[in-house]
């Protein structure tokens, strides 16, 4: 839940990642559309596509995104909310087809992340109310409620999935796919564009991006936001079929009694994760990149190499609370830091 975007015509420097455009003459038109779903702006950029073809594809994607939100939101009357109601009973039930792939993939990702990516903490997320971040009266939940829920240990291993039938051995498990649904929706959208014969595009969902093809005769150039400044800290060139996702503590937060609380929760403590300000990953699957960025943020400066190796994430940049930049070797080969004198350490995923 993870992040907005910039340009060299700086679109929005509050972003986690940004598309940096060159000043040279473009040889083919860009066609863009912005959609508001998942509580964020989703900008779709198509390059070198005939206008009628682009219009048809964009109309379909906009329809798809409305359906994704309607099915996957945990806050409204949706397919996912109905699943959560059933999970509370402990009974076996059939999962709606629209939600089943998210559950299947999240069970696997939760395992490889050693539980740090944990969509089963939906009730904990509800307690913190980050979805009401515009509410002036928002405040942290009572400590007793947090402790009580953490002791129940809701996690994806509680879910028993057999084909389309699901039950939970822990009735406190409530699903919230905020750290996966956006990435998964981008994967589905890119698959649709390719099948439609569109080969050069960027989908930027609040700063989390996926690209296919190229920007004319050059690659897509992506900027990465500085977690503590209104500026980019680095940039890289995105390759065909790559996704670049960032989780940062600046993306969604509130301040109560002078203390800042951000939305990336540590399932083991029930409180916002500490030690990290930002994590950026590059991967060939947007859903996995989305989940990994969250898991690595929670893992923190000491444990991220272990989790990255387990999740098979090879390109990672983590910025800790002291401003130190931690890079995997593969990310070090790709990233261009704005300040060459940055405090950097390079660690191989363990």
Query: What secondary structure does DSSP assign to 231-293, as a single string?
Result: SEEEEEEEPTTEEEEEEETTSSEEEETTEEEES-B-TTTSSB--SEEEEEEEES-HHHHHHHH
Q: What is the pLDDT of residue 278?
A: 97
Cα dist. 144→129, 148, 154, 173, 312 in Å? 16, 6, 16, 18, 37
* Mean pLDDT within 173-191: 97
Cα 187–Cα 221–Cα 288 angle in degrees, nearest 5 = 25
Q: What is the pLDDT of residue 316?
A: 98
Bridge partner residues of 232 (DSSP): 225
Q: What is the pLDDT of residue 56?
A: 97
For the chain, give the percent of residues with pLDDT over 90: 79
SS3 content of the chain, % helix, strand, coil (to 5): 35, 25, 40
Question: Does the pLDDT of residue 144 top 80, yes or no?
Answer: yes
Ranking 82-91, 135-144, 169-178 by mean pLDDT, the lowest is 135-144
Q: What is the pLDDT of residue 210?
A: 97
* Mean pLDDT within 154-171: 97
* Mean pLDDT within 210-235: 91
Question: Does the pLDDT of residue 217 top 90, yes or no?
Answer: no
The structure's pTM equals 0.92
Q: Between residues 128 and 25, which one has the greater pLDDT? A: 128
* Mean pLDDT within 84-110: 98
- Report residue 320: phi and psi, to 5°: -90, 180
Q: Between residues 19 and 30, which one has the greater pLDDT? A: 30
Question: Does the pLDDT of residue 1 top 70, yes or no?
Answer: no
The model's confidence at residue 100, banded by pLDDT at 50, 70 and 90, is very high
Q: What is the pLDDT of residue 12?
A: 38
71-168 fold: T-fold (1.10.3980)
Mean pLDDT value across the chain: 91
* Cβ(185)–Cβ(210) below 8 Å: no
Tokens linked to 327 = 């890079």
The model's confidence at residue 133, banded by pLDDT at 50, 70 and 90, is low
Question: Does the pLDDT of residue 25 top 70, yes or no?
Answer: no
């Amino acid at each position: 839940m993870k992040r907005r975007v910039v340009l060299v015509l700086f679109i929005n420097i509050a972003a986690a990642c940004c598309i940096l455009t060159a000043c040279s003459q473009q040889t083919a038109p860009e066609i863009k559309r912005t959609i508001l779903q998942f509580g964020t702006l989703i900008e779709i950029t198509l390059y070198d596509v005939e206008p009628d073809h682009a219009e048809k594809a964009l109309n379909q994607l906009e329809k798809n995104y409305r359906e994704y939100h309607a099915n996957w939101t945990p806050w409204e009357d949706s397919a996912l909310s109905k699943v959560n109601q059933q999970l509370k009973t402990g009974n076996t039930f059939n999962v709606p087809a629209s939600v089943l792939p998210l559950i299947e993939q999240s069970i696997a990702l939760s395992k490889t992340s050693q539980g740090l990516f944990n969509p089963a903490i939906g009730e904990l997320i509800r307690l913190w109310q980050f979805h009401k971040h515009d509410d002036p009266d928002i405040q942290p939940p009572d400590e007793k409620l947090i402790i009580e829920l953490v002791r129940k240990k809701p996690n994806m291993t509680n879910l028993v999935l057999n084909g389309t039938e699901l039950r939970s051995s822990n009735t406190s498990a409530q699903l919230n796919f905020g750290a996966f649904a956006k990435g998964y929706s981008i994967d589905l959208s890119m698959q649709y564009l390719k099948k439609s014969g569109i080969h050069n595009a960027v989908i930027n969902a609040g700063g989390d991006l996926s690209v296919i093809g190229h920007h004319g005769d050059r690659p897509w150039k992506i900027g990465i936001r500085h977690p503590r400044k209104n500026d980019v800290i680095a940039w890289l060139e995105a390759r065909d079929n790559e996704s670049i996702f960032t989780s940062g503590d600046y993306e969604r937060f509130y301040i109560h009694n002078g203390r800042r609380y951000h939305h990336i929760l540590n399932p083991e403590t029930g409180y916002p994760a500490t030690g990290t300000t930002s994590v950026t990953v590059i991967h060939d699957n947007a859903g996995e990149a989305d989940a990994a960025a969250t898991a690595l943020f929670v893992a923190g400066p000491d444990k991220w190499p272990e989790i990255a190796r387990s999740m098979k994430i090879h390109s990672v940049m983590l910025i800790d609370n002291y401003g130190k930049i931690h890079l995997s070797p593969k990310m070090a080969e790709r990233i261009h830091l704005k300040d060459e004198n940055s405090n950097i350490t390079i660690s191989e995923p363990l």
